Amino acid sequence: MPPTPRRWWPVPLLWRWLSVPVLLGVLLGIAVAGVGTVAVQHTNQVEFCISCHEMKAQNYAEYSHTIHARNRTGVKAVCSDCHVPHDALGTLVRKLGAAKDVWSHLTGTIDTPQKFEAHRLEMASAVWRRMKSSDSAECRSCHDVAAMDPEAQGPTARKQHQKLADGRHTCIDCHYGIAHQEPQGGVEPKDVVPDGT
């Protein structure tokens, strides 16, 4: 029987070298995705959001008396519905950006009602910029302008909602201060420039 010709690169050895790291990479990827999903779900819960006393005492206390928290139909919007984008990349970016909120908590920047009020306009403006940048995507995940019945709206609301068609206006331009107190200082969402512009 003639000898088997030698291969320049032994396939079984190559397969062993590549299969172990690839398999480990796939398993690690699955583990990271699973842990990430659980972390996002946990941090999107109201209980997590109000675990910082300043959020519970200020923002949650204000929100709990609004139409987003209690209404005739029982449809409820929680913190993450309004403050976390509903796509994976946007959620990741927002969760990373929330590190500033954690830092403010840890350093005591907003740990008293007085300090919170002193920073309210800055915090509100940041939210308004994000919402204007996304064309109020978080609002629109529940409120569909195309499904609105203009005849059931008052004349002012009907006129304002028609302005949405020009692309220069978005929900937050008019609908602010409905879940949290309006900041002092006379600045409104129409006065802030969207992120990325």
- 43 and 115 fall within a common domain: yes
- 129 with 63, same domain: the answer is yes
The Cα 190–Cα 175 span in angstroms is 11
Residue given tokens 């692309």 in the structure block: 167
Pairs from 71-78 (Cβ < 8 Å, separation ≥ 24)? 75/142, 77/142, 77/179, 78/44, 78/45, 78/46, 78/49
Note whether 124 and 36 are same-domain residues: yes
Domain annotation covers residue 88: yes
Does any domain span residue 1? no
Cβ atoms of 189 and 73 closer than 8 Å: no
Where do we find the tokens 């420039």? 193
131 belongs to a structural domain: yes
Structural domain ending residue among the three candidates 128, 143, 158: 143
CATH number at residue 37: 1.10.3820
Q: Are 36 and 126 contained in the same domain?
A: yes
**For the segment 20-33, what is each residue's pLDDT rounded down to a tens digit?**
788 899 999 999 99
Residue 89 to residue 137: CA distance in whole angstroms: 14
Q: Is residue 11 part of a domain?
A: no
Is 79 in the same domain as 152? Answer: no
pLDDT in tens, 133-158: 999 999 999 999 889 998 999 999 99
In this structure, the chain runs to a length of: 197
- Do 50 and 123 lie in a common domain? yes
Q: Are 107 and 170 in a shared domain?
A: no
Cα 130 from Cα 189, distance rounded (Å)? 10
Residues 133, 166: one domain?
Answer: no
pTM attached to this predicted model: 0.77
In a domain, 8, yes or no: no
Is there a single domain that holds both residue 80 and residue 156?
no
Domain count, the chain: 2
Q: Do 136 and 43 sit in the same domain of this protein?
A: yes
Q: What is the SS3 assignment for 183?
A: coil
Query: Does 163 fall in a domain?
Result: yes
Domain annotation covers residue 128: yes
pLDDT value of residue 6: 61
What are the residue ranges of helices labelled H in 64-193?
79-83, 88-97, 99-107, 113-133, 137-140, 155-162, 171-174
- Whether 190 is in a domain gets the answer no
Containing structural domain, residue 64: 27-143
Residue 168 reports pLDDT greater than 80: yes
Same-domain pairing of 121 and 167: no
Q: Which of 5-14, 75-84, 92-101, 157-166 has the lowest mean pLDDT?
A: 5-14
163: left (phi over 0), alpha (psi -120 to 50) or beta: alpha
